[in-house]
Amino acid sequence: MSSPATTPAPAAVTPPTGALDPVALRADFPILGERIGGHRLIYLDSAATSQKPTAVLDAERDFLTHANAAVHRGAHTLAAEATDLFEDARATVAGFVGAGPDQLVWTSGATMGLNLVAYAIGNATAGRGAPASARFALRPGDEIVVTAIEHHANLIPWQELAARTGTVLRHIPAHDDGTLDLDAAAELIGARTRIVAFPHVSNVLGIVNPVAELIALAQEVGAVTVMDACQSAPHLPLDLPTLGVDLAVFSGHKMMGPYGVGGLYGRSDVFEALPPFLTGGSMITTVTLDGAEYLPPPQRFEAGTQPVGPAIGLAAAVRYLDGVGLANIHAHEGMLAARMGEGLREIPGVRLLGDAAGVERVGLWSFDVDGVHAHDAGQFLDARGIAVRVGHHCAAPLHTRYGMTASVRASAALYNTVDDVDEFLDAVRGIRTYFGADA
């Protein structure tokens, strides 16, 4: 039997010049040929979930067809092939963010990764883990600092940890233009701060946050840094060790990969000291009826059956992204973001969230249409084949900060074109007229 582990990954489609050609790339995404109500699909909801190229669909299907078996558990040929593919996927995905394979833990997604970290720190606080785990123990009066722009997944786990441990949760505010208040951050992050959590890119505002400054402030006081990289990993070059963050999470389905898989990056010394969260099979060395000893990272944090097929699919996704080039992707999406922002500003009654001048951003804008509920605006666009997101985007406190309960969010990816943006803008111009809000 030939091993799929040695089968070359399908190459990404790139134009001869090496520059990103979204028209050529669209051929790699079968779903983009769908029609919605007679209209061509204009998919502007990649911040929620990205579409998957054929290379990803084929990689997962090929595994299930030729090498499906439990990893790390069998001596037969299929088990060995599955394990090789699984660990090769780990090395590939880890390398995509500049890390080594022992610095990447498989999770079901970013939410799982953030909860893993919060509960592991809680276990250290309860006295579990090796002696080195004591460095993470929290005491009443200690502080956890987050930002006012968090996705709920990087807020609620810290709320819960604070409630369990008696620590204080504090928030770095945002200016009206959506940028973080670094002066306030410098005041908030101090001797009592033990954890600083933040997003690399806001999933509502699209702004690339000044994470280097936040990390520096945290390092000055010895606080652990935790970064949500969901909206940056697919859109700009990312080297987590060089950035200096202690822990970071990302989700496969937002970066051209399958559902049900994500990554938790950790500095080696941090992973070595953290006690486990989930326990059971696959993460132990020895077990008696009275106790157990655990494997080193990353397996220490990977109890139970792993997402083998999705991990292999995610490795294909990052090979695809690498083939196109993250610098090319970021430049293309930045161009689309500028065009989208300029067009939205010119439409009467449209209010942009996070309309900061001169900041780096990804291809994402959230906005409010005066006199029209976000859900109605979304349905209007959907009837024209344009897929956007509506609601609070799992960032209710941020919407409260702007005095609203919901917004419309349009988010571009490498397969979006200038025509997509222009047709979207033309449709937005008709929303208020259709609903009689411009009378």
Q: From CA 129, how far away is CA 125, in angstroms rounded?
A: 10
The answer for 86, left when phi > 0, alpha when psi is -120 to 50, beta otherwise, is alpha
Contact 280, 303 (CB under 8 A): yes
Place of tokens 């806001």: 202
Residues annotated as catalytic are 394
| Rounded distance between C-alpha atoms, residue 167 and residue 28, angstroms | 49
CA distances from 309 to 70, 202, 258, 305 (A): 11, 29, 9, 11
Q: How far is the C-alpha of 384 from the C-alpha of 305, rounded, in Å?
A: 42
* SS3 state at 163: helix
C-alpha to C-alpha distance for 38 and 117, rounded to whole angstroms: 46
DSSP label at residue 205: T
CA distance 331 to 326: 8
Q: Rounded to whole angstroms, how far apart are CA atoms 382 and 2?
A: 46
CA distance 367 to 432: 13
427 DSSP assignment: H
- Both tokens of 406, joined, read 């919901």
